[in-house]
Amino acid sequence: MALKGKDLVTIDNLTIGEMDAVFNTADAMDNNLADQYGQCRGKVMASLFFEPSTRTRLSFETAMHRLGGRVISVSDPKSTSLAKGESIADMARIVSSYADIIVIRHPWEGAARLVADYADVPVINAGDGGHQHPTQTLCDLYTLRRERGDIHGLKIALWGDLKYGRTIHSLIFALAKFGANIIFCPSPGLEVPEHVLNKLVTEYGGDLERFKGAKRKVKNGAFPVDAAYITPGKPHQLAMMPDVDLDVEMKAGVDALYVTRPQKERFSEEEQEPSDVFPVVDKKLMRGREFRKALVMHPLPRVDELAYDLDADPRSMYFKQAAWGVPVRMALIALLLGMKEVLIAEKPSKQHVYPWYERDYGVACTNPRCVTKQESEKKYLKPGFKVVSRDPLTLRCVYCEHGTEPKFVASTEWHEGKLEFKFYHRADSHWRKQIRIENLIAFDSEKEAEKYGFKPTPARKPRTKKETNAAAD
């Protein structure tokens, strides 16, 4: 098993064994940074940043320079032909004919996946809108591993903007993969999106305990928990307790408090309203018993949610997280380019494999920030979905991973060649249960079904008197 030629679009693309291989390689490189020069001699990395960045762009570029490779770079969204309306697919094809590896940050969710579909070289997602930021997650896990040894069984509290924080979304799945427990402490209104929680529970197992009733106000010094994820296969007090015992569990302490800033650039108009409820992590909060041994982590940049008075605290990890971005990204680049080979100890993956929704019509992604919804991409890009639930019928966009529940269904088996049977049915009717996944056609609306020549399910004829009497007999 090798990492050569792989893409890293979401954290799902790496197994535990592959992540361990990246971390072991990063350890070795970090021990002797100067000796790594020449490992990627002759290779070119394209660094395409269509959103602002300090850490990710500069650490990727530093990593490639330290490996002896060259970098071509875009750091101003207006400086490429995307600004003239060129599609991402065309850009990906062109850049992959210039470079050996592509690193891309883009505001549209699923943009990195689209680049990977069209590029012939490995593609690394450096953040796609509010979707994922898998290499930040590698830095976060690497920090936990260096500071705590083993990630399995740790209790990690996620704090702040859990709705739009892309580092949060990839970290949630990675922590679940490693068997850590997660405590969700969102700012009011910035809770983890349902599609992320849904994927967490359906794909990684474990228990999700919600504490909606608990009125935990930060101002009172209490911990604003709204849910906890308990890793499977590890009996834990949290999995059994009602709300009232949560305080007891919290007092036992968390291993790390992962803080995020409000991602204002992604807020809707209502969310732009000034809010005084975004909790601040400072020296006073960190005096609480529950944080006594907690590492303070933050992907940075920070705004007001993390006080400067914590910078000298030995528990503060955020500058280390950023600094270790260089060896971690050096390891990743060298492994994906195949310039370094390592033994990967593979553990069986427990992740679900869902069937694809085979058709490219009838249903559109509901997320307006998805790359499939953008004018420049709609011309050629067909939506893609996986069927993640049959009841209710739920499709997950393969680009941005938002879920959608189509309202109507039909079957290819029933209507092919026989126009008189070309009917559509409500997705919650008994008809849907009779349609095999490979025959499924889903529609967002009746209008969409009728656009493709389908007719509504014929109303059942009222029974004749004779039939009613026969049924009664």
Minimum CB separation of residue 169 from ligand CP in Å reads 13
| CB neighbour list of residue 2: distance below 8 Å, 6 or more residues apart | 335, 338, 341, 344
209: three-class secondary structure by DSSP: strand
User: 133 or 373, CB closer to ligand CP?
Assistant: 133
Give the dihedral of Cα atoms 139, 54, 302, 19; nearest 10 deg.
-10
Q: What are phi and psi of 316, to 5 degrees?
A: -75, 125
User: 369 or 407, CB closer to ligand CP?
Assistant: 369
259: three-class secondary structure by DSSP: strand
User: 133 or 340, CB closer to ligand CP?
Assistant: 133
Minimum CB separation of residue 310 from ligand CP in Å reads 18
Minimum CB separation of residue 11 from ligand CP in Å reads 14
Minimum CB separation of residue 19 from ligand CP in Å reads 18
Minimum CB separation of residue 274 from ligand CP in Å reads 23
Minimum CB separation of residue 184 from ligand CP in Å reads 20
Interaction site with ligand CP (CB under 6 A): 53-56, 127, 133, 136, 299-301
User: 126 or 441, CB closer to ligand CP?
Assistant: 126
The b/e string for 409-444 (b: 16+ C-beta within 10 A; e otherwise) is: bbbeebbeeeeeebbbbebeeebbeebeeebbbbbb
Report the alpha-carbon angle 304-325-13, nearest 5: 105
User: 127 or 193, CB closer to ligand CP?
Assistant: 127
Minimum CB separation of residue 137 from ligand CP in Å reads 10
User: 54 or 81, CB closer to ligand CP?
Assistant: 54
Burial class (CB in 10 A: 0-12, 13-18, 19+), 185: buried
**Residue carrying the six token digits 């056609």:** 441
User: 56 or 170, CB closer to ligand CP?
Assistant: 56
The closest of 205, 210, 127, 207 to 171, measured between CA atoms, is: 127
Pull the structure tokens for residue 465: 């008197």
Q: In this structure, what DSSP letter does residue 103 have?
A: E
